[in-house]
Amino acid sequence: MSGTMTMTYRLRPSDLARVASVGLRSRRMRAALSALGIAIGVAAMVAVLGLSASSQAGLLAEIDRLGTNLLTVSKGTTLFGDTAELPKEAPGMISRIGPVTEVQSTGSTKARVYRSPLIPAINTNGLTVAASSLGLPAAVSTSVARGRFLDAATAGQPVVVLGSAAARRLGIDRIFPGQRLWVGGQWFYVNGILRPAALAPEIDNSVLVGYAAAEKYLGFNGHPSVVYVRSDTEQVGAVHGVLAATANPRNPNQVTVSQPSAALVARAAAQSALNGLFLGLGAVALLVGGIGVANTMIISVLERRSEIGLRRALGATKGHIRIQFLSEAVLLSCVGGVLGVVIGAAATAVYATVKGWAIVVPGLAWGGGLVVAILIGAIAGLLPAIRAARMAPTEALRTV
């Protein structure tokens, strides 16, 4: 007899799943709306973490493509706070460093560039005119999008090459014969347009001329402003340590040395720091979803008193009733969590594909989203489950 009673009161997992799904299937609209709240919160968390990981993967891949062995040497400041000058010999001295493979430079001028002499002088568009060495594009991992770059024949002539942003602000998207710009009070011919330079964004905003032309037509003093240095990848640290003293032996403290790829990595880290804000918004959505689940379960308990009383009268224990309603809440949240993971992963895939990034959905994103959804469902359903279990059979059956 006791063995029969034990089998009668045993609730197998399959029975539990079937019983827990009854309430959801009988109230589909309410269950769907409650699951939607959980889905929105989980989707937000998965999308934020996925997009962040995909963005960083794309940026790091771009950095690897551009190369991490580019160093820049630029003008620092004197003890009195004035801008220091790099020696004219700086590029040549830097090129003598053993591991250095390439040295190119630019030099700032005071000239301004306009579409015509009729444009007010104040409308500079934030552009600078700089002298450039002839191998600059390759050194900063960019290339010519339209036309041609400066060469030995054009370096001494009134000829300019536009950075990508400079061309856009000047309204120039193609090159045709005789095209001119008003540079430093005289006409210069447009020879080419560069593609964006991710490692040297200052070039994008520049109008480049040859060193000889800058000295001849724009009053340039010949001192470089920025020197771009490529070195053996394994020796970047060693080269970085000697660049300042090599570029300006007399005043190495007046030289600034940086690694552009390190700045891009830092930017990626700073961008990921903003994830906390969006994760907080996702957590708020999950909280709202959890409240929705709790509300659904409380109403479900009230509406199903007769079912509870009948099951108790037929031999179900308080534990059976408790686990039934708790499982129902967990199942509801689990459905919302799975839906949220799918939506978040899909959003990440679509956006990453559009941006050309690798699609990365970290395990922490989808696994953590599911775990959090289940925990919220368990917490939200605990009180209604306890309330249902405490309901006396006679009191519950009064509603039948």
Query: What pLDDT was estimated at residue 242?
Result: 93
What are the domain boundaries of the chain? 14-63+270-397, 69-260
Output b/e per residue, 102-122; b: 16+ Cβ within 10 A.
Answer: ebbbbbbbebbbbeeeeeeee
Quote the pLDDT of residue 164.
95
pTM of the model: 0.61
The phi-psi region of residue 103 (left if phi > 0; otherwise alpha if psi is between -120 and 50; otherwise beta) is: beta
| 77: β partners | 83
Which backbone phi and psi does 117 adopt, to 5 degrees?
A: -70, -10
**102 - beta bridge partners?**
230
Picking from 26-30, 88-92, 281-285, which range would have the lowest pLDDT averaged per residue? Answer: 281-285
What pLDDT sits at residue 2? 41
Average pLDDT estimate for 383-394: 72
Residue 105's pLDDT is 95
Cα–Cα distance for residue pair 108/150, rounded to 1 Å: 17
Q: Over range 273-289, report the average pLDDT.
A: 66
Residue 272 pLDDT greater than 60, yes or no: no
d(CA 151, CA 162): 15
Q: What is the pLDDT of residue 5?
A: 41
**Calpha distance 179→198 (Å, rounded):** 27
Give the model's pLDDT for residue 333: 83
More confident of the two residues 129 and 122: 129
Tens-place pLDDT, residues 11-54? 666 666 666 676 666 677 777 777 787 888 888 888 888 887 78
Kindly state the tokens that stand for 327.
Answer: 């499982």
**Whole-number Å distance between alpha carbons of 222 and 89:** 10
| Interval 297-307: pLDDT, tens | 777 776 666 77
Question: pLDDT at residue 83 above 60?
Answer: yes
Contacts of 219 by beta carbon, 8 Å cutoff, 6+ apart: 109, 110, 111, 184
Name, in order, each residue with C-beta under 8 angstroms of 66's C-beta and a sequence gap of 6 or more. Answer: 141, 198, 199, 261
pLDDT of res. 169: 94
Mark out the alpha helices in 83-179 (DSSP H runs).
90-95, 136-139, 164-169
Taking a C-beta distance cutoff of 8 angstroms, is the pair 197, 260 a contact? Answer: no
pLDDT band at residue 245 under the 50/70/90 scheme: very high
Lowest mean pLDDT among 34-43, 206-215, 308-317: 308-317
Length of the chain: 400
